Amino acid sequence: MTAYLLHYYGYMLRAAASHIEMIALVMLFAIPVSAALSVLVHVFRFLAVPVITILEILYTIPSLAFFAILTPISGLGVKTAVIVLVCYSLFFLVRNFLAGLEGIDPLIIEAAQAMGYSRAGMFLKIELPLAMPALIAGTRLACMSSIGIACIAYAIGAEGIGSILFEGMRQMSYVKIAWGVILVVTLSVAVNNLMAAAERYFARRADPGRT
Amino acid sequence: MNAIEFEDVKKSYGSGEAVRGISMAVGEGSLVALMGASGSGKTTMLKMVNRLVAPTSGKILFFGEDTASMDVIALRKRIGYVLQSAALFPHMTAAGNISTIPDILGWDKARTKLRVKELLSLMGLDPDKFAGRYPSQLSGGEQQRVGIARAMAGEPSVLLMDEPFGALDVITRSRLQDDLLSIHRRSGTTILFVTHDIDEAFRMGNKVAVMNRGVLAQYGTPREIVENPKDGYVRQLLNFLSVEALKRAGEPK
């Protein structure tokens, strides 16, 4: 175990770094797109059913199948992996963001409306800060699911922690598999804790009197 | 001049009729209590004034101007609105909540700050102690005081209040009723006050509008209503008026 670590720590770090890079790229696209979609659905309610249905359908496609469908279009590699992960992430993000917006006490919305807020003013000053914790919760879920699925993306040539795992499987090397697992679990736990802290921070901001 | 005039206003929801053709005027500077049982249409009447609800037919005039043709945001900026639950914004301090409308109106910071202080004091809340508190750090009565201050911050010409004291205990409620009466006397703001409590209606209103199933049963001063109830419903209601409130109604305001 230690011998492998001492010999290959550079390679392991690079694998973890490309994994993180892939997730960051996914969030970079998924968060703005989901925010735009959520706001659109929030303002034009009739879009709710079609948008959610499409995201649900995308989410039910198994990842390997999804990679296979897209490979002829967007080729092998990180690009296809990111597209698939963005599609999955949208499901978590949009659902949580909408739940956050719709979970605000309707009387608070009524009071804000009666005060003469413009639609945009009300969104920025009232709805967004109050829905923020839910948005972060959605981002946390999206990150968790992406970190896992990104390992499988090695199958289409997207480098990451998946590289170590797949090599381990091919060579029946338990050492490699173990290190791969340790890396991916550590990354998951770290990101999860980070996002949980962010969630607590925004929950406090949404109701500072509670704490 | 009338602050608000309802002209044969009707509102139906699906097959049900909440308001069945009401005409009444609320004089500038008066405090009118709109009272009725739940489902009598009183809240619907209130919400039609700031266009949270659109009337099915009829007209509502705001200082002589048809509200339907006014810009809705401009209209709302001139009307304060207080709900039963204070519905304060939980992510803002008391001062932040009260500054909301001045901010929307684009007041400068110094003027807003002064107004916040003035209103907190007016509502019997020490500004130094309460300005920085968040809604969940306030009691129900304090929240409602901040709610009223928030509604009055932009110096509205009309204040709409929907059972503002309905969720408060008797002592807090009675104190707030007195405070609101004195604020009304001093500020001269027109107030339309919805309540289901007949004692409260007779205590607060210069005039009382009794609603019954979407119809205006009677509209007059407490004294006129006590001395000359118009129909059986009003007579029946008066049976529930406390002796104290009855005595007060007999005295000229």
- What ipTM is given for this predicted complex? 0.87
**Contact between chains at B87 and A110 (C-beta distance less than 8 A):** yes
Q: Is B203 on the interface with A (CB under 8 A)?
A: no
Domain count across chain B? 1
C-beta of residue A30 within 8 angstroms of C-beta of residue A86 = yes
- Asked whether residue A41 carries a pLDDT value surpassing 70, the answer given is yes
Residue A119 DSSP code: H
Mean pLDDT within B96-115: 95
B125 assigned to some structural domain: yes
Domain A2-210 has CATH 1.10.3720.10: yes
Q: What is the pLDDT of residue A96?
A: 95
CA dist., res. A79 & res. A84, Å (int): 9
B93 assigned to some structural domain: yes
Mean pLDDT within B120-146: 94
Decide: residue B2, CB within 10 A, 0-12 exposed, 13-18 middle, 19+ buried: middle
- Asked whether residue B253 carries a pLDDT value surpassing 70, the answer given is no
What is the torsion angle, in degrees rounded to the nearest 10, for the CA atoms of residue B77, residue B79, residue B84 and residue B88?
20
B225 assigned to some structural domain: no
- Asked whether residue A211 carries a pLDDT value surpassing 80, the answer given is no
Q: Is A205 on the interface with B (CB under 8 A)?
A: yes
CA atoms within 13 A on the CB side of B195: 22
Provide the β-strand partners of residue B193.
B33, B161
The pair of structure tokens assigned to B220 is: 């007059």
pLDDT tens for residues B51-87?
999 999 999 999 999 999 999 999 999 999 999 888 9
Residues of B in contact with A205 (CB under 8 A): 91
Out of B50, B104, B135, the one facing A209 most closely (by C-beta) is B135
- Asked whether residue A202 carries a pLDDT value surpassing 90, the answer given is yes
Q: Is B100 on the interface with A (CB under 8 A)?
A: yes
Q: What is the pLDDT of residue B252?
A: 58
- Asked whether residue A157 carries a pLDDT value surpassing 90, the answer given is no
How would you list the strands of the sheet with B215-220, edge to edge?
B79-82, B158-162, B190-195, B31-36, B207-212, B215-220
Q: What is the pLDDT of residue B127?
A: 96
Range of B107's domain? 88-156
Q: Is A129 on the interface with B (CB under 8 A)?
A: yes
Other C-beta atoms within 10 Å of A179: how many? 22
Q: How far B21 CA sits from the closest chain A CA (Å)?
A: 24
Give the phi and the psi of residue B244 in degrees, each rounded to 5.
-60, -45
- Asked whether residue A89 carries a pLDDT value surpassing 90, the answer given is yes
pLDDT tens for residues A159-179?
999 999 999 999 999 999 999
- Asked whether residue B215 carries a pLDDT value surpassing 90, the answer given is yes
B162 assigned to some structural domain: no
**Contact between chains at B101 and A130 (C-beta distance less than 8 A):** no
pLDDT tens for residues A112-152?
999 999 999 999 999 999 999 999 999 999 999 999 999 99
**Contact between chains at B91 and A208 (C-beta distance less than 8 A):** yes
The CA-CA-CA angle for residues A87, A90, A95, to 5°, reads 145
CA dist., res. B66 & res. B5, Å (int): 9
Closest-CA residue of A relative to B74 is A116
Q: What is the pLDDT of residue A15?
A: 93
Please report, in angstroms and rounded to a whole number, the separation of the first and last CA atoms in chain A: 46
Mean pLDDT within A65-93: 94
Q: What is the pLDDT of residue A20?
A: 96
pLDDT tens for residues B235-249?
999 988 888 887 777
